[in-house]
Chain A
Amino acid sequence: MTRQTPAWPDTYGDEAHARVGFFTDTSICIGCKACEVACKEWNQIPASNQGFTGESYDNTIDLGANTWRHVAFVEQRKSLDAGTDGADLALAEVAARNAAADGWGLQTYQDGDGLRWLMSSDVCKHCTEAACLDVCPTGSLFRTEFGTVVVQEDICNGCGYCVPACPFGVLDKREGDGRVWKCTLCYDRLKDDKEPACAQACPTNSIQFGELADLRERAEKRLEQLGDAGLDQARLYGADDDDGVGGFGAFFLLLDEPETYHLPPAPVDTTRDLGGLWATTAAAALAVGAGVAAAFLGGRR
């Protein structure tokens, strides 16, 4: 059911395992950040900068070398479009609340000021076509027998190419260390038949770990349920093989557009365009040669 990757499963022969991943169902995320903590503890990740961002309860900001799970908090308000009159305002507020409840679905609507909170635990997507892995010049980034994407820290020389190559901004260089770090989908735990730390710590089962094929079936059912319950805006993100990265190993159920969660709506592994880019580069190289040769026409002076 899930697509093969260039390095999985064939290169592993008998050692190949079914492809595993995460299904992060954000409709039941409560924003407790247990996943962030469990990830940090198990993987012994250095502390991130402490600070107050003023952006809801999100002081983690983004994924990076020292953050492999990031719980995003998105506060949404329906704006009140009303006159200055007090009675108008009250009527407009009621109308706006009703509109909010209709638009979002009663399950996510919270009373008071037409507010809802979207919470989502972001993580490395472990793409089928992984740009980070493609561009890594040392072979440090590799595809495991589980179909996941992992950095071998004893190989990485900190060239930093994967950092701007990732269409999700997942990887980053660790200051003071110099190498890049990212989610390993708890490769060490997988080897011992244990689920990743974040999934085990998640108290609501918002983070579900398993074989990717099973997770996709589960996600389809959940999407149907939410549709029946009136959450028209619910959508799966990264659950299909035909997107720009060949589908995610770690995909999501979102309650709004991906960009609302700071996620790209149509991410692409730019390796798809590399054939044309190499051809252009070769043509440009030949043009330089032609230019040099042309400079000698007309003699020495």
Chain B
Amino acid sequence: MTVVRPELGATREARGGGESPYGRPVIKEPVWTWEIPFYFYTGGLAGASAGLAYVARLTGNSALARRAWLAALGGVSLSPLFLISDLGKPVRFFNMLRVFKVTSPMSVGSWILAGSGATTGVSALNAWTGLFPRTAAVSRPVAAALGLPLSTYTAALVANTAVPAWHEARYELPFVFGASAAASAGAAAAAVTPARDAAPARRLLVGGALVEVALTQVMERRLGPLGSTYSEGPAGKFGKAAKALNLAGAVVAAAAGHRNRAAAVAGSALVSAGALCARWSVFKAGSQSAANPDHTVVPQRERIERGRAPGSARGVAGGR
């Protein structure tokens, strides 16, 4: 039976429960808004860009290093704006740094982002102005080291929830997010770096995009019935767009990116859009999965029947 309360359906997708024999959703849909998938993108971009900039500098490719530091700075500057805007009480954003909790990926991530922001800022400033050379010498490796978990922890954040399509994907999502971040960083740097210095960025763009597409397929297949969430509804539309954009961008950048600046920019734009769509697909899949009581109940019931979980109910005879 459908719930005759449109005001609920308007704020939360599929609140009415649909066709499931279990009626209503068992868990709540995430309340996160549009800022969060954008943050997944900007955070990943910032993290992998810091790594790219660091290695570029080590190899003496300062043209690439300077631009990658700039991309990292852009990503790490936008990220907190998205995150703070999503809070119910934005003025209390500083409460994120009130404690450090390893059981909360959001807490760990807040500290990573704070450290990454400070060190990336110094590194980028130094790369472009030469200021603070000694501080920058320390900041660069720290920014690169923090950038790596910055590009993957958001997967741990969503996977550590009761949302079945996220939690059951916990072995793949960090790698999917990491590949997406690498592709984003490669794309940003390849778009703004002269072609003769941009080869590593193009390789990162192509490799990241291809790995992301492949891992997403693997994830959907391994998830079984839950995996179809990623190919249905809004999540499916974003997922298909991500795949097409990533593949097209990789082909364009690989084929012509090294001699044609326009092709490099086009390939970068396609892959950047693909990475963003991929994040939106995962984000939407979470809402769709949470709204579907079958996703919550059926796997739990199976775990009980296979003796892999005791379940929470105990009957008259002591059986479960």
- What is the interface of chain A, defined by CB distance below 8 A to chain B? 49, 51-55, 61-62, 64, 131, 134-140, 155-161, 163-175, 177-180, 223-224, 226-227, 231-240, 242-245, 248, 254, 257-259, 262-268, 270-271, 273-274, 276-278, 280-289, 291-296, 298-301
Q: When the two chains form their complex, are residues B199 and A285 in contact, meaning their CB atoms are under 8 A apart?
A: no
Report A8 CB to chain B, min CB distance, Å: 16
User: Closest residue to A173 on the B side, CB-wise?
Assistant: B31
A164-B162, A237-B312, A243-B311 known; A157 vs B171 contact (CB < 8 Å): no
Q: When the two chains form their complex, are residues B4 and A54 in contact, meaning their CB atoms are under 8 A apart?
A: yes
Say yes or no for B228: interface residue by CB 8 A criterion: no
Report A74 CB to chain B, min CB distance, Å: 9
CA distance A45 to B30 in the complex (A): 22
Say yes or no for B134: interface residue by CB 8 A criterion: no
CA distance A75 to B258 in the complex (A): 68
26 contacts between A and B (CB under 8 A): A51-B5, A54-B2, A137-B101, A138-B98, A138-B99, A139-B98, A156-B89, A157-B96, A159-B88, A164-B28, A164-B161, A240-B312, A243-B311, A259-B297, A262-B26, A262-B293, A264-B26, A266-B309, A266-B310, A268-B300, A270-B161, A273-B167, A285-B151, A291-B204, A291-B207, A296-B61
Residue with the highest number of chain A CB atoms closer than 10 Å, among B208, B293, B311: B311
Say yes or no for B125: interface residue by CB 8 A criterion: no
Report B253 CB to chain A, min CB distance, Å: 12
Report B7 CB to chain A, min CB distance, Å: 6
Chain B residues with CB under 8 Å of A259's CB are: 22, 26, 293, 297, 301
A157-B88, A178-B88, A277-B159 known; A243 vs B312 contact (CB < 8 Å): yes
Chain A residues with CB under 8 Å of B7's CB are: 49, 51
Report B31 CB to chain A, min CB distance, Å: 4
CA distance A270 to B313 in the complex (A): 19
Q: When the two chains form their complex, are residues A296 and B200 in contact, meaning their CB atoms are under 8 A apart?
A: yes
CA distance A298 to B59 in the complex (A): 12
Q: When the two chains form their complex, are residues B162 and A178 in contact, meaning their CB atoms are under 8 A apart?
A: no
Q: When the two chains form their complex, are residues B170 and A280 in contact, meaning their CB atoms are under 8 A apart?
A: yes
Chain B residues with CB under 8 Å of A53's CB are: 3-5
Q: When the two chains form their complex, are residues A292 and B88 in contact, meaning their CB atoms are under 8 A apart?
A: no
**Cβ contact of A293, chosen from B23, B55, B89, B181, cutoff 8 A:** B55
Q: When the two chains form their complex, are residues A157 and B87 in contact, meaning their CB atoms are under 8 A apart?
A: yes
- What is the interface of chain B, defined by CB distance below 8 A to chain A? 1-5, 7-8, 11, 22-32, 47-48, 51-52, 55-56, 59, 61, 86-90, 92-93, 95-96, 98-99, 101-107, 110, 148-149, 151-153, 155-157, 159-163, 166-167, 170-171, 174-175, 177-179, 181-182, 185-186, 196-197, 199-201, 203-204, 207-208, 211, 258, 286, 290, 293, 296-297, 300-301, 303-304, 309-317
CA distance A161 to B152 in the complex (A): 17
Report A59 CB to chain B, min CB distance, Å: 9
CA distance A234 to B87 in the complex (A): 43
Chain A residues with CB under 8 Å of B26's CB are: 168-169, 259, 262-264
A52-B4, A53-B3 known; A296 vs B59 contact (CB < 8 Å): yes
CA distance A175 to B163 in the complex (A): 22
Report A120 CB to chain B, min CB distance, Å: 13
Residue with the highest number of chain B CB atoms closer than 10 Å, among A237, A281, A283: A281
Chain B residues with CB under 8 Å of A257's CB are: 313
Q: When the two chains form their complex, are residues B301 and A289 in contact, meaning their CB atoms are under 8 A apart?
A: no
Q: When the two chains form their complex, are residues B203 and A298 in contact, meaning their CB atoms are under 8 A apart?
A: yes
CA distance A235 to B304 in the complex (A): 15
Chain B residues with CB under 8 Å of A265's CB are: 297, 300-301, 304, 311-313
User: Closest residue to B50 on the A side, CB-wise?
Assistant: A292
**Cβ contact of B178, chosen from A138, A156, A179, A285, cutoff 8 A:** A285
CA distance A267 to B157 in the complex (A): 19
Q: When the two chains form their complex, are residues A239 and B314 in contact, meaning their CB atoms are under 8 A apart?
A: yes
CA distance A49 to B15 in the complex (A): 14
A232-B316, A266-B304, A276-B170 known; A155 vs B98 contact (CB < 8 Å): yes
User: Closest residue to B320 on the A side, CB-wise?
Assistant: A235
Residue with the highest number of chain B CB atoms closer than 10 Å, among A139, A234, A286: A139
Chain A residues with CB under 8 Å of B51's CB are: 288-289, 292
Q: When the two chains form their complex, are residues A287 and B178 in contact, meaning their CB atoms are under 8 A apart?
A: yes
**Cβ contact of B315, chosen from A180, A235, A244, A263, cutoff 8 A:** A235
Chain B residues with CB under 8 Å of A137's CB are: 96, 99, 101, 104, 106-107, 110
User: Closest residue to A264 on the B side, CB-wise?
Assistant: B26
User: Closest residue to A230 on the B side, CB-wise?
Assistant: B316
